Protein backbone atom coordinates (compact mmCIF):
# COMPACT_ATOMS: atom_id res chain seq x y z
CA UNK A 1 0.00 0.00 0.00
CA UNK A 2 1.13 3.56 -0.72
CA UNK A 3 2.11 5.54 2.35
CA UNK A 4 1.36 9.02 3.64
CA UNK A 5 3.09 11.06 6.33
CA UNK A 6 1.59 12.21 9.61
CA UNK A 7 2.44 15.87 9.24
CA UNK A 8 5.50 17.27 10.95
CA UNK A 9 6.07 14.03 12.88
CA UNK A 10 7.57 12.40 9.80
CA UNK A 11 5.81 9.13 10.70
CA UNK A 12 4.93 7.19 7.53
CA UNK A 13 1.70 5.15 7.56
CA UNK A 14 -0.41 3.25 5.08
CA UNK A 15 -2.74 5.58 3.18
CA UNK A 16 -5.68 3.91 4.93
CA UNK A 17 -5.59 3.22 8.65
CA UNK A 18 -7.76 1.18 10.98
CA UNK A 19 -10.07 2.64 13.58
CA UNK A 20 -10.35 0.10 16.37
CA UNK A 21 -13.20 1.70 18.36
CA UNK A 22 -15.92 -0.61 17.05
CA UNK A 23 -14.10 -3.65 18.37
CA UNK A 24 -15.28 -2.86 21.89
CA UNK A 25 -17.32 0.35 21.90
CA UNK A 26 -20.48 1.81 20.34
CA UNK A 27 -21.11 -0.91 17.72
CA UNK A 28 -20.79 -4.11 19.74
CA UNK A 29 -17.66 -6.01 20.63
CA UNK A 30 -15.16 -8.46 19.24
CA UNK A 31 -13.37 -11.25 21.06
CA UNK A 32 -9.63 -10.97 21.48
CA UNK A 33 -9.17 -13.63 18.81
CA UNK A 34 -11.37 -11.74 16.34
CA UNK A 35 -9.65 -8.43 17.01
CA UNK A 36 -6.21 -9.98 16.73
CA UNK A 37 -7.06 -11.61 13.41
CA UNK A 38 -8.28 -8.32 11.92
CA UNK A 39 -5.34 -6.28 13.24
CA UNK A 40 -2.75 -8.84 12.14
CA UNK A 41 -4.31 -8.95 8.67
CA UNK A 42 -4.32 -5.16 8.57
CA UNK A 43 -0.57 -5.09 9.17
CA UNK A 44 -0.08 -7.69 6.44
CA UNK A 45 -1.93 -5.36 4.03
CA UNK A 46 0.11 -2.30 4.96
CA UNK A 47 -2.61 -0.77 7.12
CA UNK A 48 -0.18 0.39 9.78
CA UNK A 49 -1.96 3.25 11.59
CA UNK A 50 -4.06 1.76 14.40
CA UNK A 51 -6.29 4.21 16.26
CA UNK A 52 -7.75 3.57 19.70
CA UNK A 53 -8.59 5.57 22.86
CA UNK A 54 -8.82 5.03 26.58
CA UNK A 55 -12.53 5.93 26.48
CA UNK A 56 -13.41 3.00 24.22
CA UNK A 57 -14.82 0.33 26.49
CA UNK A 58 -13.81 2.22 28.56
CA UNK A 59 -10.22 0.98 28.67
CA UNK A 60 -10.88 -2.44 27.07
CA UNK A 61 -10.06 -1.33 23.54
CA UNK A 62 -6.48 -0.45 24.38
CA UNK A 63 -6.00 -3.86 26.00
CA UNK A 64 -7.44 -5.53 22.91
CA UNK A 65 -5.09 -3.61 20.60
CA UNK A 66 -2.07 -4.07 22.83
CA UNK A 67 -2.53 -7.83 22.88
CA UNK A 68 -3.09 -7.94 19.12
CA UNK A 69 0.18 -6.20 18.21
CA UNK A 70 2.38 -8.32 20.44
CA UNK A 71 5.47 -9.29 18.50
CA UNK A 72 4.77 -6.74 15.73
CA UNK A 73 5.19 -3.43 17.56
CA UNK A 74 7.77 -2.20 15.08
CA UNK A 75 5.25 -2.50 12.22
CA UNK A 76 2.64 -0.33 13.91
CA UNK A 77 2.10 3.41 14.18
CA UNK A 78 0.05 3.33 17.35
CA UNK A 79 -2.39 6.16 18.06
CA UNK A 80 -4.47 6.57 21.19
CA UNK A 81 -6.31 9.39 22.92
CA UNK A 82 -7.13 10.91 26.28
CA UNK A 83 -9.47 13.64 27.46
CA UNK A 84 -12.89 11.98 27.29
CA UNK A 85 -14.21 10.40 30.46
CA UNK A 86 -17.01 7.84 30.37
CA UNK A 87 -19.52 8.82 33.04
CA UNK A 88 -22.08 6.16 32.08
CA UNK A 89 -21.23 3.54 29.48
CA UNK A 90 -24.79 2.28 29.00
CA UNK A 91 -26.12 5.69 27.97
CA UNK A 92 -22.87 6.91 26.38
CA UNK A 93 -22.79 9.88 28.77
CA UNK A 94 -19.35 11.40 28.43
CA UNK A 95 -17.33 14.07 30.19
CA UNK A 96 -14.08 15.87 29.43
CA UNK A 97 -10.86 16.28 31.35
CA UNK A 98 -7.96 18.19 29.85
CA UNK A 99 -6.10 18.98 33.08
CA UNK A 100 -2.33 18.45 32.74
CA UNK A 101 -2.13 16.06 35.69
CA UNK A 102 -4.98 14.00 34.27
CA UNK A 103 -3.37 13.80 30.83
CA UNK A 104 -0.07 12.61 32.27
CA UNK A 105 -1.76 9.96 34.41
CA UNK A 106 -3.92 8.86 31.46
CA UNK A 107 -0.82 8.43 29.29
CA UNK A 108 0.84 6.22 31.89
CA UNK A 109 -2.30 4.09 32.13
CA UNK A 110 -2.53 3.78 28.33
CA UNK A 111 1.10 2.68 28.11
CA UNK A 112 0.37 -0.08 30.61
CA UNK A 113 -2.81 -1.27 28.89
CA UNK A 114 -1.17 -1.21 25.45
CA UNK A 115 1.96 -2.85 26.91
CA UNK A 116 4.30 -0.56 24.98
CA UNK A 117 7.15 1.75 25.94
CA UNK A 118 5.89 4.68 23.88
CA UNK A 119 2.83 5.85 21.97
CA UNK A 120 3.46 7.04 18.42
CA UNK A 121 0.57 9.53 18.27
CA UNK A 122 -1.06 10.82 21.45
CA UNK A 123 -4.24 12.78 20.81
CA UNK A 124 -6.47 14.99 22.92
CA UNK A 125 -9.84 13.36 22.24
CA UNK A 126 -11.79 16.56 22.94
CA UNK A 127 -10.72 19.92 24.28
CA UNK A 128 -11.94 20.50 27.84
CA UNK A 129 -13.83 23.83 27.91
CA UNK A 130 -12.74 24.28 31.53
CA UNK A 131 -9.03 24.02 30.71
CA UNK A 132 -7.13 26.29 28.28
CA UNK A 133 -5.94 24.20 25.35
CA UNK A 134 -2.45 25.61 25.90
CA UNK A 135 -2.28 23.82 29.25
CA UNK A 136 -3.44 20.50 27.81
CA UNK A 137 -1.00 20.68 24.90
CA UNK A 138 1.77 21.74 27.26
CA UNK A 139 1.29 18.55 29.24
CA UNK A 140 1.36 16.50 26.05
CA UNK A 141 4.56 18.26 25.00
CA UNK A 142 6.14 17.21 28.30
CA UNK A 143 5.20 13.61 27.57
CA UNK A 144 6.88 13.93 24.18
CA UNK A 145 10.02 15.40 25.73
CA UNK A 146 10.08 12.46 28.16
CA UNK A 147 9.99 9.99 25.27
CA UNK A 148 6.60 8.59 26.17
CA UNK A 149 4.95 9.82 22.95
CA UNK A 150 6.39 10.62 19.53
CA UNK A 151 3.82 13.07 18.18
CA UNK A 152 0.83 15.08 19.35
CA UNK A 153 -2.62 15.31 17.78
CA UNK A 154 -5.98 16.96 18.48
CA UNK A 155 -9.50 15.81 17.69
CA UNK A 156 -12.62 17.77 16.69
CA UNK A 157 -11.10 21.25 16.93
CA UNK A 158 -11.54 24.46 14.97
CA UNK A 159 -8.85 26.61 13.39
CA UNK A 160 -8.74 29.12 16.24
CA UNK A 161 -8.02 26.32 18.70
CA UNK A 162 -5.39 24.87 16.40
CA UNK A 163 -3.62 28.21 16.20
CA UNK A 164 -3.49 28.42 19.99
CA UNK A 165 -2.24 24.84 20.29
CA UNK A 166 0.46 25.31 17.64
CA UNK A 167 1.83 28.28 19.57
CA UNK A 168 2.71 25.82 22.34
CA UNK A 169 3.98 22.83 20.35
CA UNK A 170 3.75 21.52 16.76
CA UNK A 171 0.58 19.53 16.18
CA UNK A 172 1.10 16.53 13.88
CA UNK A 173 -2.51 15.53 13.25
CA UNK A 174 -6.13 16.58 13.50
CA UNK A 175 -8.80 13.90 13.76
CA UNK A 176 -12.37 14.77 12.83
CA UNK A 177 -15.30 13.22 11.03
CA UNK A 178 -15.11 13.54 7.25
CA UNK A 179 -17.08 11.66 4.62
CA UNK A 180 -19.49 12.20 1.77
CA UNK A 181 -22.16 12.95 4.35
CA UNK A 182 -20.00 15.03 6.71
CA UNK A 183 -18.05 17.63 4.75
CA UNK A 184 -17.74 20.54 7.19
CA UNK A 185 -13.94 20.19 7.63
CA UNK A 186 -13.49 20.97 3.92
CA UNK A 187 -14.34 24.62 4.59
CA UNK A 188 -11.60 25.67 7.01
CA UNK A 189 -9.89 22.90 8.96
CA UNK A 190 -8.63 20.78 6.07
CA UNK A 191 -7.17 23.76 4.15
CA UNK A 192 -5.50 24.92 7.38
CA UNK A 193 -3.96 21.47 7.85
CA UNK A 194 -2.65 21.48 4.28
CA UNK A 195 -1.05 24.88 4.80
CA UNK A 196 0.57 23.96 8.13
CA UNK A 197 1.88 20.45 7.41
CA UNK A 198 -0.67 18.78 9.67
CA UNK A 199 -2.15 15.41 8.72
CA UNK A 200 -5.91 14.99 8.82
CA UNK A 201 -7.37 11.70 10.10
CA UNK A 202 -11.03 11.27 9.11
CA UNK A 203 -12.99 9.04 11.44
CA UNK A 204 -16.27 7.52 10.23
CA UNK A 205 -15.20 7.99 6.57
CA UNK A 206 -17.93 5.53 5.57
CA UNK A 207 -20.65 7.46 7.39
CA UNK A 208 -20.66 4.93 10.25
CA UNK A 209 -21.28 2.23 7.64
CA UNK A 210 -24.19 3.98 5.95
CA UNK A 211 -22.30 4.85 2.76
CA UNK A 212 -21.58 1.18 2.08
CA UNK A 213 -25.26 0.68 1.21
CA UNK A 214 -25.61 -2.13 3.73
CA UNK A 215 -28.09 -0.30 5.94
CA UNK A 216 -31.52 0.92 4.91
CA UNK A 217 -33.22 0.79 8.29
CA UNK A 218 -32.21 1.37 11.89
CA UNK A 219 -33.75 -2.00 12.70
CA UNK A 220 -30.63 -3.53 11.15
CA UNK A 221 -28.62 -2.54 14.22
CA UNK A 222 -28.45 -4.69 17.36
CA UNK A 223 -29.72 -3.45 20.70
CA UNK A 224 -27.29 -1.01 22.28
CA UNK A 225 -25.73 0.05 18.98
CA UNK A 226 -24.80 3.73 19.29
CA UNK A 227 -26.13 4.52 15.83
CA UNK A 228 -29.74 3.99 16.90
CA UNK A 229 -29.39 7.20 18.96
CA UNK A 230 -28.11 9.37 16.13
CA UNK A 231 -30.39 11.73 14.13
CA UNK A 232 -29.11 10.50 10.76
CA UNK A 233 -30.10 6.94 11.58
CA UNK A 234 -33.73 7.72 12.34
CA UNK A 235 -36.21 6.37 9.80
CA UNK A 236 -37.03 9.60 7.96
CA UNK A 237 -33.41 10.72 7.71
CA UNK A 238 -32.20 7.29 6.59
CA UNK A 239 -34.80 7.26 3.83
CA UNK A 240 -33.76 10.71 2.62
CA UNK A 241 -30.07 9.91 2.81
CA UNK A 242 -30.43 6.89 0.53
CA UNK A 243 -30.00 9.41 -2.31
CA UNK A 244 -26.38 9.85 -1.22
CA UNK A 245 -25.80 6.10 -1.22
CA UNK A 246 -27.35 5.75 -4.67
CA UNK A 247 -24.99 8.40 -6.01
CA UNK A 248 -21.98 6.61 -4.54
CA UNK A 249 -23.17 3.30 -5.97
CA UNK A 250 -23.54 4.86 -9.42
CA UNK A 251 -19.91 5.99 -9.36
CA UNK A 252 -18.85 2.60 -8.03
CA UNK A 253 -20.45 0.97 -11.07
CA UNK A 254 -18.42 3.30 -13.32
CA UNK A 255 -15.06 2.50 -11.71
CA UNK A 256 -15.66 -1.18 -11.01
CA UNK A 257 -15.38 -0.85 -7.24
CA UNK A 258 -17.71 -1.04 -4.27
CA UNK A 259 -19.58 1.84 -2.68
CA UNK A 260 -17.27 1.65 0.33
CA UNK A 261 -14.19 1.87 -1.86
CA UNK A 262 -15.52 4.88 -3.75
CA UNK A 263 -16.44 6.65 -0.51
CA UNK A 264 -12.93 6.08 0.82
CA UNK A 265 -11.29 7.06 -2.47
CA UNK A 266 -13.17 10.38 -2.36
CA UNK A 267 -11.83 11.02 1.14
CA UNK A 268 -8.29 10.18 0.03
CA UNK A 269 -8.68 12.57 -2.91
CA UNK A 270 -9.20 15.51 -0.53
CA UNK A 271 -5.46 15.86 -0.03
CA UNK A 272 -2.19 14.00 0.35
CA UNK A 273 -2.24 14.75 4.09
CA UNK A 274 -5.51 12.81 4.57
CA UNK A 275 -5.40 9.33 6.15
CA UNK A 276 -8.89 7.88 6.76
CA UNK A 277 -9.36 5.37 9.58
CA UNK A 278 -12.40 3.22 8.78
CA UNK A 279 -13.23 0.66 11.42
CA UNK A 280 -14.38 -2.93 11.12
CA UNK A 281 -14.44 -6.21 13.01
CA UNK A 282 -14.44 -8.31 9.84
CA UNK A 283 -11.47 -9.28 7.70
CA UNK A 284 -13.54 -9.17 4.49
CA UNK A 285 -14.48 -5.52 5.10
CA UNK A 286 -10.91 -4.70 6.13
CA UNK A 287 -9.63 -6.07 2.83
CA UNK A 288 -12.32 -4.20 0.90
CA UNK A 289 -11.39 -0.94 2.63
CA UNK A 290 -7.66 -1.42 2.16
CA UNK A 291 -8.17 -1.98 -1.57
CA UNK A 292 -9.72 1.50 -1.80
CA UNK A 293 -6.19 2.92 -1.70
CA UNK A 294 -5.75 1.67 -5.26
CA UNK A 295 -9.04 3.11 -6.56
CA UNK A 296 -8.51 6.12 -8.80
CA UNK A 297 -11.34 8.57 -9.33
CA UNK A 298 -11.34 10.72 -12.47
CA UNK A 299 -12.13 14.45 -12.13
CA UNK A 300 -15.61 13.83 -13.57
CA UNK A 301 -16.29 11.22 -10.90
CA UNK A 302 -15.07 13.53 -8.15
CA UNK A 303 -17.44 16.18 -9.51
CA UNK A 304 -20.37 13.76 -9.37
CA UNK A 305 -19.57 12.89 -5.76
CA UNK A 306 -19.06 16.51 -4.76
CA UNK A 307 -22.54 17.28 -6.09
CA UNK A 308 -24.28 14.70 -3.89
CA UNK A 309 -26.90 16.14 -1.54
CA UNK A 310 -26.09 17.25 1.98
CA UNK A 311 -27.03 14.68 4.59
CA UNK A 312 -30.33 15.03 6.39
CA UNK A 313 -29.94 15.08 10.17
CA UNK A 314 -27.28 16.29 12.59
CA UNK A 315 -24.25 14.18 13.39
CA UNK A 316 -25.16 13.78 17.07
Asked if 56 is an active-site residue, the reply is: yes
85 - beta bridge partners?
95
Distance CA 21, CA 17 (A): 12
Q: Which of 27, 56, 102, 285 is catalytic?
A: 56
Active-site residue numbers? 56
Amino acid sequence: MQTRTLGSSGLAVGAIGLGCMGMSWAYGSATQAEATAVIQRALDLGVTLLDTADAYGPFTNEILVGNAIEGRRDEVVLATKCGITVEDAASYRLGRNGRPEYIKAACEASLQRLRVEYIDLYQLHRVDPAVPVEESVGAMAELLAAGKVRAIGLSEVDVATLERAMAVHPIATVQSELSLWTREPLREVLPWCAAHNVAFLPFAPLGRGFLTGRYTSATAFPSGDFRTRLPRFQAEAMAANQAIVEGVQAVAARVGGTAAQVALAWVLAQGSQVVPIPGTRRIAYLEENAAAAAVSLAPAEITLLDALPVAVGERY
